[in-house]
Amino acid sequence: MTPTFEAALQTIKDQISAVPLDLPSEGVPLEAARGRVLAEDARADRDYPPFNRSARDGFAARSADLASIPVTLACIGEVAAGVHFENTVGAGECVSIMTGAPVPDGADAVVMVEHTQREGCRVTFLQGAQPFENIVRRGSEAPSGKFVLRRGQRVGSAEIGLLASLGAAKVTVLRKLRVAILTTGDELVPVEVRPEWFQIRDSNAFSLQAQVAEAGGIPRAVGIAPDRSETIMQMIEECLEEDFFILSGGVSAGKYDLVERVLEEMGAEFYFRSVAIRPGKPLVFGKLRDRFFFGLPGNPVSGYVTFQVFVERALQALAGAGFGEPVFWSARLAKPAAPKAGLTTFTPARVEMEGSTPVVDRISWQGSGDLVGLAAANCFLVMRPDEGPRSAGDWVTVLPKGD
């Protein structure tokens, strides 16, 4: 039976979590850690922030002194980021303070400079402050020793910033997952070859390599297999040298769609051989000699969508980063749209802001072979088989197009 989109996702999650792949770890300089998966937890090496930090430019004072406003206090000094104030702020006193500076002892509130008037050493406060207003308290982001990143987390720009603040010039990450890509089809020629009028260039080898790299894997394009069983078999043997492999093309019901048969002959186990989605229905997921694989339909948009919603999840789970469900967004529909009976559909579309409202409109496209349409899209309009026809203005589901 053909599983639904949700059931197929669950099958992938279950199969992959059942077999944890133990990748070795390696040290990399922090600047090379983007996109990598952490092999170790990271703890706060001291309190964050390390002192009570002023969040504003203004004046630090005792909040009790600001109970009735206006009030004029004596300014006894200044403290900027990178220095500290030696004395204590007493009753009736204040200190000029800059954003990022340590709040002096005695003071427990900061009033923004905009709400004060200064004349020489006297500062009149036109606004009061609650205790610790405009102050980020020592240790409030993370007390010393707290885990701030966990093994299995993927490092993005924000995590790089956090690791840098912890002093991690070098980080321990898991080895990248190696992913073989085999494209199949007698009509395909390599990108540098001028195709005959009846041939097409092997674009999937490139889009899939890019998607694998973006997902954090190391792609290896094994080559183009003609629609001949023996060659496909030999090239699948090569794919088995890597951690995981992706086959493109040859999984539909046509006379020359040999990939499934070959995999079967080689002893593959299949978890599903199609999914109730469009594009991408003939998607295949299985395992051959301890290696998970996907057989993607050859149509470029089908391959792209199935990679984004299924293969990327599998790849990242195998790479040690856990299984992340695809996250859907909402937008208002520009023109009426109807679901397809029995299928979850992913239609290339553009979402644009109209004032403060995201509005989604489908791209005109010629079906699942249309890379021109795909490149013009910035999202997919997602329609589930159980939802009724939708009118203009209805809130509908969109999936942002991956990179």
Where does this chain bind ligand AMP (CB under 6 A)? 183, 185, 187-188, 200, 202-205, 248-250, 252, 254, 257, 297-300, 369
Binding mask 244-273 for Mg ion (x = CB under 5 A): -----xx-----------------------
- The pair of three-digit structure tokens given for residue 368, joined into one six-digit string: 């699942």
Nearer to ligand AMP, 185 or 286 (CB): 185
Distance of closest approach, residue 282 Cβ to ligand AMP, in angstroms: 7
Question: Pick from ligand AMP, Mg ion, none: which does 58 bind, CB < 5 to 8 A by kind?
Answer: none
Q: Which stretch binds Mg ion (CB under 5 A): 54-62, 118-126, 266-274, 294-302?
A: 294-302
Q: Which does 204 bind (CB under 5 to 8 A by kind): Mg ion, ligand AMP, none?
A: ligand AMP
**Under rule CB under 5 A, residue 303 binds Mg ion:** no
Q: Closest distance between ligand AMP and the C-beta of residue 268, in Å? A: 18
By CB under 5 A, is residue 185 in contact with Mg ion?
yes
262 vs 379 by CB, closer to Mg ion: 262
Q: How far apart are CA 96 and CA 115, in angstroms?
A: 13
Task: In angstroms, give the least distance from the CB of 236 to ligand AMP.
Answer: 15
The size of the interface with Mg ion (CB under 5 A), counted in residues, is 4
Task: Select 66 or 296, whichever has its Cβ closest to Mg ion.
Answer: 296
Q: Which is nearer to ligand AMP, 48 or 285 (CB)?
A: 285
- Whole-number minimum distance, CB 11 to Mg ion, in Å? 25
Helix then strand count (H, E) for the chain reads 8, 26
Would you call the peptide bond into 400 cis, given omega within 30 degrees of 0 as the criterion? no
Contact between 49 and Mg ion per CB under 5 A: no
b/e 228-238 (16+ beta carbons within 10 angstroms → b) = eeebbeebbee
* Strand ranges, E, within 35-187: 42-43, 53-54, 58-61, 71-79, 93-97, 109-112, 116-119, 122-125, 135-136, 147-149, 170-174, 178-184
Within 209-238, which residues bind Mg ion (CB under 5 A)?
none
Residue 93's binding partner among Mg ion, ligand AMP, none (Cβ under 5 to 8 angstroms by kind) is none
Enclosing H/E stretch for 162 = helix 157-165
144 CA to centre of own chain: 28
- Contact predicate 402/359, CB 8 Å: no
What is the closest distance, in whole angstroms, from the C-beta atom of residue 1 to ligand AMP in the complex? 22
Looking at the Cβ atoms of 250 and 279, the one nearer to Mg ion is 250
What is the arrangement of strands in the sheet containing 284-288, beginning at the earlier edge strand? 218-225, 178-184, 244-248, 291-296, 284-288, 269-272
Listed residue (243, 252, 278) closest to 185, CA to CA: 252
Give the residue closest to Mg ion by C-beta. Answer: 185
Length of the chain counted residue by residue: 403
Question: For 220, phi and psi rounded to 5 degrees?
Answer: -135, 110
CB of 259 to Mg ion, least distance (A): 8
Positions that interact with Mg ion (CB under 5 A): 185, 249-250, 298
